[in-house]
Chains A and B, each alone.
Chain A
Amino acid sequence: MKWKIESQRKQYGRALVELGKERGDIVVLDADLSTSTRTADFAAAFPERFFNVGIAEQNMMDTAAGLAASGKTVFASTFAVFGTGRCYDQIRQSIAYPKLNIKIVATHAGITVGGDGASHQIIEDIALMRVLPNMTVIVPVDAPETYRVVKAVSKMPGPVYVRVGRADVPTVTKETDQFELNNAQVMRDGNDVTLIGCGIMVSKCLEAAEELAKHGVDARVVNLHTIKPLDEKTLVKAARETGGVVTAEEHSVMMGMGSAVAMCLVENFHVPMKRVGIPDVFGESGCCDELMAKYGLTSDNIVEAAHDVLRRKK
């Protein structure tokens, strides 16, 4: 399929600047990666409300907590690998536990970081964030949705984790689409099997659905942008109506989105299911497409998983 390819980070920067204009309570923190995360756009527009803490993510999260405790709406950004694991205790103790109004918008998540290699390719951030009580976890699907998500979470009280990639990603939503928390978006209707994706993998699901259609398989595609809270209604409905589910995520298959869906379905409406994602291994340096092929994140992998589910349905 021919997609328009756009930067999520650019839209993050744009949304932040607009928020800065609209609201005086917005403050932004970064840990020496502002030109990469694009919080630098906000810093240029509102230097007095931007704080670069240097390479000190733990310090950033607790400083964010103090600002939020004083009534500020705080966006804290860095690469996902540093903004989750490296400061997990700070997020747990000072953000999630006291339910503070902090939005962690972490960029460069997943294996599509590419050449930097496994040290920078976090494939476990969804797992880390979704087990924290009070934490909302969102994976915007494309650039326009990233913009909508940033705007939406700024109005939501409490802690939110937003996962954004480094690479430019296919635009699969329309300008007119709305982002609704806890309301998964059905991108394509179908009755034979449901392909549930998040982030960059939604475009792969749509490509897989096209391929499956050539073989007479009518696949439903769901953009599960909100991993927590989970839209159980849409998931159970899809399982009931299509009888088989494939999940696809640019994340470890251990405890990511696919696991969340599996847990929901096993308790509510058990159907044959297959999880497409990165196996329980670290990544490596390479270009995006090569890495996605090697680690099982192509539309072919999804098609194959769908056929497996269809066989088990019978």
Chain B
Amino acid sequence: MEVYDGEFIRELESIAKKIRMHSIKMIYDAGSGHPGGSLSCADIVTALYFHILKHDPKKPDWEDRDRFVLSKGHAAPTLYAALAEAGYFEVEELCTLRKMGSRLQGHPCMGKTPGVEMSTGSLGHGLAAGNGMALAAKLDRKLHRIYVLCGDGEMDVGETWEAAMLASHFKLDNVTAYIDRNKLQLDGPTEKIMSLEPLADKWKAFGWHVIEINGHNMKEIIQATNEAKGVKGRPTIIICHTIKGKGVSYMEGSLHFHGKAPSDEEYVQAMKELGGP
């Protein structure tokens, strides 16, 4: 197992903090959006763009780049913040989210925003799209990898399981999927709306290599991803246990902020908490 020194991890954590602040500011400026699910996946997305992905922000069309598909497209603010911080476009552009004429649509739009690999937003599509990219990579004998981030609510979608079967059937060991297991969906707790457990067993039964981690622990995210790279002949899913609204006390574990922008006072408090020591 690789050893990551404290300073390296702390650096990633400070980027994640910045990305959380951008996300909240973008949603506040736009007056709408999905803060809860944007915050819960911020650490995973940060680890991807600032350590895991082989990519070049100056050449978004580079053929051999790793691909990242944000299947839970409503977390677009987090994706855009990461893309901007990584250098795909100026950070100043983030404030245009959801506004007329912006390249930053409410949900990711391929071809409009540099670095966005697939249009998403309608849930349950991303894993299958990632599989298509993985099949293409195999056909072309390319070594780049495909990463897909799903929300746990997407486990309700039948197509997710169609894609789970396909990746396993075609032995797509170049696919690594993450589940942002924040345990809340729009209408309530996942286990109350449509129970998912035993989730790990389901993925194992579909032929995937399954890892469970704390999705807010940078070291665990990176180590699990490294483990996935070594798995041959089958895809890997990393169930990331997370907290919806992570980083803002009154949003944590709250259904209220699934799809609602913070008020003026809430915004001030959120930024204070996120920017705090």
Partner-B contacts on A (CB < 8 A): 27, 48-49, 51, 53-54, 56, 58-59, 61-72, 89-90, 92-94, 97-99
14 inter-chain pairs at a CB distance below 8 angstroms, sorted by A residue, are A48-B139, A53-B166, A54-B162, A56-B162, A64-B132, A66-B135, A67-B132, A69-B118, A69-B133, A72-B136, A89-B125, A90-B159, A98-B109, A98-B110
Complex partner residue of A65 from B129, B139, B140, CB under 8 angstroms: B129
Complex partner residue of A59 from B117, B118, B119, B163, CB under 8 angstroms: B163
In chain B, residues 33-80, which have Cβ atoms closer than 8 Å to a Cβ of chain A?
63, 67, 69
Complex alpha-carbon distance, A135 and B136, angstroms? 23
Q: What total of A-B pairs shows CB separation below 8 Å? A: 102
Complex alpha-carbon distance, A62 and B134, angstroms? 12
Complex partner residue of A49 from B67, B119, B134, B139, CB under 8 angstroms: B139
CB-based contact A59/B159 at 8 Å: yes
CB-based contact B129/A66 at 8 Å: yes
Q: Is B31 among interface residues, defined by CB-CB distance under 8 A?
A: no
CB-based contact A59/B135 at 8 Å: no
Query: With a CB–CB cut-off of 8 A, which chain A residues contact B63?
Result: 71
In chain B, residues 109-125, which have Cβ atoms closer than 8 Å to a Cβ of chain A?
109-111, 117-122, 125
Query: With a CB–CB cut-off of 8 A, which chain B residues contact A92?
Result: 122
* From A51, A61, A62, A99, residue with most partner B Cβ within 10 Å: A62
Complex alpha-carbon distance, A99 and B162, angstroms? 24
CB-based contact B166/A69 at 8 Å: no
Give min CB distance, A47 to chain B, whole Å: 12
Question: Interface size of B by Cβ–Cβ distance < 8 Å?
Answer: 33
Give min CB distance, B21 to chain A, whole Å: 30
Q: Is B262 among interface residues, defined by CB-CB distance under 8 A?
A: no
Complex alpha-carbon distance, A226 and B263, angstroms? 52
User: What is the chain B residue whose CB lies nearest that of A70?
Assistant: B136
Complex partner residue of B118 from A54, A72, A98, CB under 8 angstroms: A98
Q: Is B128 among interface residues, defined by CB-CB distance under 8 A?
A: yes
Query: With a CB–CB cut-off of 8 A, which chain A residues contact B120?
Result: 93
Q: Is B275 among interface residues, defined by CB-CB distance under 8 A?
A: no
Q: Is B130 among interface residues, defined by CB-CB distance under 8 A?
A: yes
Query: With a CB–CB cut-off of 8 A, which chain A residues contact B140?
Result: 70
Query: With a CB–CB cut-off of 8 A, which chain B residues contact A58?
Result: 128, 158-159, 162
Query: With a CB–CB cut-off of 8 A, which chain B residues contact A93?
Result: 119-122, 125
In chain B, residues 133-150, which have Cβ atoms closer than 8 Å to a Cβ of chain A?
133-137, 139-140
Complex partner residue of B165 from A54, A61, A70, A97, CB under 8 angstroms: A54
Given contacts A70-B137, A72-B136, contact A59 B128 (CB under 8 A): yes
Complex alpha-carbon distance, A27 and B133, angstroms? 12
CB-based contact B163/A94 at 8 Å: no
Query: With a CB–CB cut-off of 8 A, which chain A residues contact B131?
Result: 62-63, 66
Q: Is B250 among interface residues, defined by CB-CB distance under 8 A?
A: no
Query: With a CB–CB cut-off of 8 A, which chain B residues contact A66?
Result: 69, 118, 128-136
Query: With a CB–CB cut-off of 8 A, which chain A residues contact B121?
Result: 93
Query: With a CB–CB cut-off of 8 A, which chain A residues contact B109?
Result: 97-98
Complex alpha-carbon distance, A51 and B131, angstroms? 12
In chain B, residues 74-125, which have Cβ atoms closer than 8 Å to a Cβ of chain A?
109-111, 117-122, 125
Query: With a CB–CB cut-off of 8 A, which chain B residues contact A61?
Result: 128
Query: With a CB–CB cut-off of 8 A, which chain A residues contact B4?
Result: none
Q: Is B8 among interface residues, defined by CB-CB distance under 8 A?
A: no
Query: With a CB–CB cut-off of 8 A, which chain B residues contact A53?
Result: 162, 166
CB-based contact A63/B129 at 8 Å: yes
CB-based contact A62/B122 at 8 Å: no
Given contacts A48-B139, A65-B118, A66-B118, contact A56 B166 (CB under 8 A): yes
Complex partner residue of A70 from B110, B133, B159, CB under 8 angstroms: B133
CB-based contact B111/A98 at 8 Å: yes
CB-based contact B128/A27 at 8 Å: no
User: What is the chain B residue whose CB lies nearest that of A71?
Assistant: B136
Query: With a CB–CB cut-off of 8 A, which chain B residues contact A56?
Result: 159, 162, 165-166
CB-based contact A94/B166 at 8 Å: no
Q: A65-B132, A69-B110 are in contact. List 6 more A-B contacts (CB 8 A).
A: A48-B139, A56-B166, A62-B163, A63-B163, A67-B133, A93-B125
